[in-house]
Structure 1
Amino acid sequence: MAKDVEVAEQGEYSAKDYHDPPPAPLIDPEELIQWSFYRAIIAEFIATLLFLYITVLTVIGYKSQSENDDCGGVGILGIAWAFGGMIFVLVYCTAGISGGHINPAVTFGLFLARKVSLIRAVLYMMAQCLGAICGCGLVKAFQKSHYNRFGGGANELALGYNKGVGLGAEIIGTFVLVYTVFSATDPKRNARDSHVPVLAPLPIGFAVFMVHLATIPVTGTGINPARSFGAAVIYNKEKAWDDQWIFWVGPFIGAAIAAFYHQFILRAGAIKALGSFRSNA
Structure 2
Amino acid sequence: MSKEVSEAEQATAKDYRDPPPAPLLDFGELRLWSFYRALIAEFVATLLFLYVTIATVIGHKEQNAADQCSGVGILGIAWAFGGMIFILVYCTAGISGGHINPAVTFGLFLARKVSLIRALLYIVAQCLGAIVGVGIVKGIMKHQYNSLGGGANEVAPGYSKGTALGAEIIGTFVLVYTVFSATDPKRSARDSHVPVLAPLPIGFAVFMVHLATIPITGTGINPARSFGAAVIYNQDKPWDDHWIFWVGPLVGALAAAAYHQYILRAAAIKALGSFRSNPTN
Instruction: Work out whether the TM-score is over 0.5.
Output: yes
Question: Shorter-normalised TM-score: what interval?
Answer: over 0.9
Residue correspondence of structure 1 range 43-82 to structure 2 within 5 A: 43-82=41-80
The letter for the 2-side match of 1:49 is: L
Corresponding letter in the other structure for 2:46: T
Matches within 5 A, 1:72-151: 72-151=70-149
Confirm whether residue 193 of structure 1 aligns to residue 194 of structure 2. no
Q: Which amino acid aligns with 2:33?
A: W
CA deviations 1:208-228 (Å, max 9, x no partner) are 000000000000000000000
The one-letter amino acid paired with 2:160 is: N
CA RMSD of aligned residues (A): 1.4
* CA displacement at 1:9 relative to structure 2: 3.6
The structural deviation recorded for 1:8 is 2.9
TM-score w.r.t. length of structure 1: 0.96
Distance 1:68 1:81 in 2: 22
Deviations 1:110-155 (A, max 9, x none): 0000000000000000000000000000000010000001001000
Per the alignment, residue 276 of structure 1 pairs with 274
Cα distance in 2, alignment partners of residues 103 and 25 from structure 1: 21
Partner of 2:263: 265
Name the CA distance, whole Å, in 1 between partners of 2:124 and 2:249. Answer: 16
1:151 partner SS: coil
SS of match in other structure, 1:92: helix
Using structure 2 for the length normalisation, give the TM-score.
0.96
* Deviation of 1:6 (Å): 7.5
Deviation, structure 1 residue 10: 2.2
Runs of 5+ in structure 1 lacking a partner?
none
Work out the percentage of aligned pairs sharing the same amino acid: 78
CA distance in 1, matches of 2:8, 2:264: 22
| Cross-structure match for 1:11 | 12
User: Structure 1: how far apart are the matches of 2:8 and 2:197?
Assistant: 31
User: Following TM superposition, where does structure 1 have runs of at least 4 consecutive aligned residues deviating by more than 4 angstroms?
Assistant: 3-7
CA distance in 1, matches of 2:155, 2:99: 25
